[in-house]
Structure 1
Amino acid sequence: MSTSLVSAPALVSPPALVSAPPLVSAPGTPTGVAPTGVAAPTPATPVGSTPAGCGSTATGPLGVLGVPGQVNLDYAATAPCARAAADAVAELLPWYGSVHRGAGALSRRSTLAYERARQDVGDFLGVRPDDHVVFTRNTTDALNLLARALPPGTRVVTFAAEHHANLLPWPTGTVRLPVPGSAGDAVRAVDAALRELRRGSGGGAPILVAVTGASNVTGECWPIAELARVAHAHGARIALDAAQLAPHAELDVTALTVDYLALSGHKLYAPFGIGVLAGRADWLDAAPPYLAGGGATLGVGAATHDVRWADGPGRHEAGTPNLLGAVALAAVCTALAEADRAAQYAHEQALLARLRSGLAALPDVAELRTFEADAPRVGIVSFVVAGRESAAVAADLAQHWQLGLRDGLFCAHPLARRLLAEAATRSGRRDLPPTALRASIGLGSTVAHVDRLLTALAATR
């Protein structure tokens, strides 16, 4: 991985950041235990009191911060802050200084912390030795950077099932494939599209396949390793939108053979305005800087446009970098790498199964899904309540039950609208609302949180 480490001054102890070992497990089929039923509804708890088992206690590096009594089931929008992130920021704040721009102890300490954060994040993602890890603002920013770095004439292939971040940045001429009905359909659609593009381009034009790892609407996991294999068989590259997958599953860029990966810190328990684009260096080093300014240059001459741009991650990190965001994200990555991810995954899958079976037992609730009902998925469920506007349901849950959910079309309008129509067909209901509700879980989520939502929905029908 391309980094630019600097030596720490002798009088300054290095930041408490440890390089995490590369993760070698690619995300697989969920194996969580599926509960057979849901606990019987309990009486509503009045606003202002704390429901038993609700709220979060931030113990340990992966404990999450929260407000007692408030049940957060909106992790897919923005995950709560992990203790590891908060502690890392608090530890560095006294030493906070300029990065790559000073000789003083604070600047040297800050520069070392920033580049160590880059190394730790790269290790967490299992990047290749010559890959770049570029810090951005979020996944949207990372994918826009990649779109600006595409070689001239690149054709992009994506799906209508994507988040807007993976729909809108790509150039004119992008091939948008229909929403597939299964993981196998997705692989076959990409294979057919690439065959056609290679036939039409004479075989030599660059092609990028851009896909999600897990849907932000349904939580369904996409067959990334298979899509990468097909892409490479046609001489194409593949970019993975890992915003929703990274918080739930182990990722390894090398094992998955993806060429680029984008993620957001705020969805990975590090809410300090940081994101990442990791992947192949050649396209990034050949492209004009995403931002022009200080830090992206090797030298600027007197003449207009007499600029020598830097290579490496700094080429696309002009301006003062987000040191605290990088350090926070690295701390969470290190904590996750040292945790029992299999146990975390099993716990989440048990909660997810409990939530889905409980929703299925409510006669007026219909779940949204793209693939078959038992397809692998992470802790995200979108649904509608027949005869009720989703915004009104969300407001009621927040006001009377202290439950935080998302309502709307989830920045994936083409997909959400299609799935709402399909849910109406499957359920035979004509009174489904035009927008949906989404419940999402993660670190800190409990059985009590899930049961509270199911109890509230049963009471507010």
Structure 2
Amino acid sequence: MTQVQTTAAGRLLELVGGDLRVPLVDGTTARYVNLDNAASAPALAPVAAVVDELLEYYGSVHRGAGFASIVSTEAYTAAREVVRGFVGARDDDLVLFTRNTTDAFNLLAAALPPGTTVVTFAGEHHANLLPWRRHAQTVHLPIPSGPAEALAALDGELHRLGGRGPVLVSVTGASNVTGEVWPIEEIVAIAQRHGARVALDAAQLAAHRVLDVEAWGVDYVAFSGHKVYAPYGAGVLAGRADWLDAGRPHVAGGGAVRRVGVDDVEWATGPARHEGGTPAALGAVAIAAAVRTLDAAGWDAIVEHEEELLQRLLDGLDALPGLRTYTLWDRAPDRVGVVTFGVDGLDSALLAAALGAEHAIGVRDGSFCAHPLMEHFGGGPALRASIGVGTSADDIDRLLNALSDIINNGPRWTYVEADGYVLPSPDPRPRPSLGGLLGATPVVVAGAPCRT
């Protein structure tokens, strides 16, 4: 059952791990403060409950006659319709389940008609910059100093491109660096006037605001399950069917076909065309459970909760010496709970490591997969704190007090840099076993450094 509190000073919804206690390097433990929701949010408790229930009935989707397969198929089909309602899609739009927003935009990029030009802004997340470069002509508009400048630049570029083939305008709904909400309806109006389509990156918007593709006139929308408290490996692309039905299947394999011969294939249309292989049914159902829970909580309550905590955070950060926050539009009145900041004389990776190891606070350090935008702000990594439905006033105060302590006294532990990571050395914090996957000795982290 959804648990909702009536005051924005406390948690609005219950999260898995909301009362998690973690070890600190000094041998004590503390309640974990998760202020990294913009990167990947924990599961809502009702989402985990739905997934656990489905696991008992898990079976092959679209491929089995047994009762478990029937239940799994029905759940997967129902999840698609719940998501359709959540994004406000048109009746004839396709709703596809993908891995995440990046996967969704790569799918859409591969389905663009030949000769399509994609217009976007240079300050976008990499998921809305890189996929288009593989499949289309791309125009990167300069990072604007305000909404009016963004709209004027877009209008001018679309006028210049008039009559040169299909055009897709792809923009963020809310910045993953500054939290500023973009003027979506005005962007759509300009695009429609020039005969262009609009794709909306809603990765940072979907957990904070109502989406309404049909009312806005947006042609495509993408978001990730892990941003809306459903971290089970699925995402969404929803939008007009014509380009998607004509595009090359995203994953060639079983389920994406009507008939296969030795030398030929007849591909399916509709969602099946791009969902080859066994679908991520648990992820799709998790997304449906998450967005239903958010809808039930009420978007007015979600926005009120977030705005109260965001103002508390901004006021506290403004009072700290040597700290500056990053904004494009002079503290835009409409923004989601994402704040990026830097502290003079303190390396952001060291600061993030100290917050985690000494204060049990999780934040994001780096360039947030938005390198051009961070270069616009002067280059170099920074810190990001992000608010969610499980954030409380105590969480904000914990962060502000910890920042004040580190700024005034410095870190109290020793840290080393290794492969792009800053880690406590030594690190005596015991890890959970996870069924034997982890042991007492910390695992050497592999992959891209966290500062990207």
| TM-score, structure 2 as length reference | 0.84
1:189 aligns with 2:153: yes
CA distance in 1, matches of 2:179, 2:383: 13
Show the counterpart of 1:282: 242
Q: Is the 8 A contact 1:156 1:208 kept in 2?
A: yes
Q: Is the 8 A contact 1:368 1:420 kept in 2?
A: no
1:88 aligns with 2:50: yes
Q: 2:316 aligns with which of 344, 358, 361?
A: 358
1:452 aligns with 2:403: no
Show the counterpart of 1:291: 251
Show the counterpart of 1:390: 348
CA distance in 2, matches of 1:330, 1:435: 35
Q: Is the 8 A contact 2:100 2:224 kept in 1?
A: yes
1:65 aligns with 2:16: yes
CA deviation after TM superposition for structure 1 residue 184, in Å: 1.4
CA deviation after TM superposition for structure 1 residue 420, in Å: 3.2
CA distance in 2, matches of 1:184, 1:78: 31
For 1:179-328, list aligned pairs within 5 A.
Answer: 179-198=143-162, 203=163, 205-302=165-262, 304=263, 306-328=264-286
The SS at the match of 2:340 is strand
Deviations 1:11-65 (A, max 9, x none): xxxxx9xxxxxxxxxxxxxxxx9x9xxxxxxxxxxxxxxxxx8xx7xxx9x4111
Show the counterpart of 2:98: 136
Show the counterpart of 2:293: 335
* 2:314 counterpart letter in structure 1: R
CA distance in 1, matches of 2:136, 2:248: 19
Query: Unaligned regions of 5+ residues in structure 1, if any?
Result: 1-15, 17-32, 36-52, 422-433
The SS at the match of 1:393 is helix
CA distance in 1, matches of 2:358, 2:63: 52
CA distance in 2, matches of 1:375, 1:351: 14
Q: Is the 8 A contact 1:420 1:435 kept in 2?
A: no
- Alignment: residue pair count: 389
CA deviation after TM superposition for structure 1 residue 374, in Å: 3.4
Q: Is the 8 A contact 2:96 2:274 kept in 1?
A: yes
CA distance in 1, matches of 2:394, 2:309: 10
CA distance in 2, matches of 1:396, 1:218: 23
1:414 aligns with 2:372: yes
CA deviation after TM superposition for structure 1 residue 274, in Å: 0.4
Show the counterpart of 1:440: 386
The SS at the match of 2:341 is strand
CA deviation after TM superposition for structure 1 residue 120, in Å: 0.5
The SS at the match of 1:411 is coil
* 2:123 counterpart letter in structure 1: A
CA distance in 1, matches of 2:45, 2:210: 20
1:400 aligns with 2:358: yes
**Runs of 4+ in structure 1 over 2 Å off:** none
Q: Is the 8 A contact 1:221 1:376 kept in 2?
A: yes
Show the counterpart of 2:130: 168
Q: Is the 8 A contact 2:60 2:72 kept in 1?
A: yes
Deviations 1:255-313 (A, max 9, x none): 111000000000100000000000000000011101110000000113x2x11110101
Show the counterpart of 1:77: 39
CA distance in 1, matches of 2:198, 2:299: 26
CA distance in 2, matches of 1:222, 1:374: 10
Q: 1:378 aligns with which of 314, 327, 336?
A: 336
Alignment identity in percent?
Answer: 56
CA distance in 1, matches of 2:151, 2:46: 38
CA distance in 2, matches of 1:454, 1:409: 22
CA deviation after TM superposition for structure 1 residue 335, in Å: 1.4
CA distance in 2, matches of 1:325, 1:83: 15
Show the counterpart of 1:428: none
| TM-score, structure 1 as length reference | 0.82
Show the counterpart of 2:4: none
Deviations 1:421-461 (A, max 9, x none): 6xxxxxxxxxxxx2100000101101111011111111111
Show the counterpart of 1:145: 107
Q: Is the 8 A contact 2:60 2:69 kept in 1?
A: yes
CA deviation after TM superposition for structure 1 residue 172, in Å: 4.9
Q: 1:120 aligns with which of 66, 69, 82?
A: 82
Q: 1:155 aligns with which of 84, 96, 117?
A: 117
CA distance in 1, matches of 2:228, 2:245: 27
CA distance in 1, matches of 2:377, 2:210: 28
RMSD: 1.7
